Amino acid sequence: DFLPLKCDACEEVFCKDHIRYDDHKCSSAYKKNVQVPVCPLCNAPIPVQKGEIPDIVVGAHMDKDCKYNPAQQKQRIFTNKCLKPGCKRKEMMKVVCEQCGGNFCIKHRHPLDHDCKGSSSPTSKA
């Protein structure tokens, strides 16, 4: 059964298999798109007025109003410095000693490896 359906964006007539915007590659679909685009650089939502093409509005934002600063965005991954004297290693995650509460690298994580002062005797000789 061919039931003529009118596209609400481009107002052309299609069958039920081609009524979706993607199915007939509707050139006016952007008029009905209610998604808020996000700047790929600063992750800020960009307001788009009805009838505007989101790609052009986001491009204009990137050229003029974008607050992206590449130097500021550089994130350090290895920030947890080992507390063992003389060790300069840094780990991605905190490795905390259960006895003294200090943060150590993988090599010095055990109480005997960092001369732990937390309790009188270490719990294991690992």
Domains and CATH numbers, the chain: 1-33 (no CATH), 34-74 (no CATH), 75-118 (4.10.1110.10)
pLDDT tens for residues 63-114? 888 887 766 656 677 789 999 999 999 998 899 998 999 999 999 999 989 8
Q: Which residues contact 110 (CB under 8 A, 6 or more apart)?
A: 122, 124, 126
In sequence order, the β-bridge partners of residue 92 are none
The mean predicted confidence, pLDDT, of the chain is: 83
pLDDT beyond 80 at 2 = no
Indicate the helix (H) or strand (E) that contains 91: strand 90-91
Q: Please, are residues 46 and 36 in contact by the beta-carbon 8 Å criterion? A: yes
What's the confidence (pLDDT) of residue 104? 93
pLDDT beyond 70 at 125 = no
User: What is the arithmetic mean of pLDDT over 31-47?
Assistant: 83
Residue 53 structure tokens = 């093409």
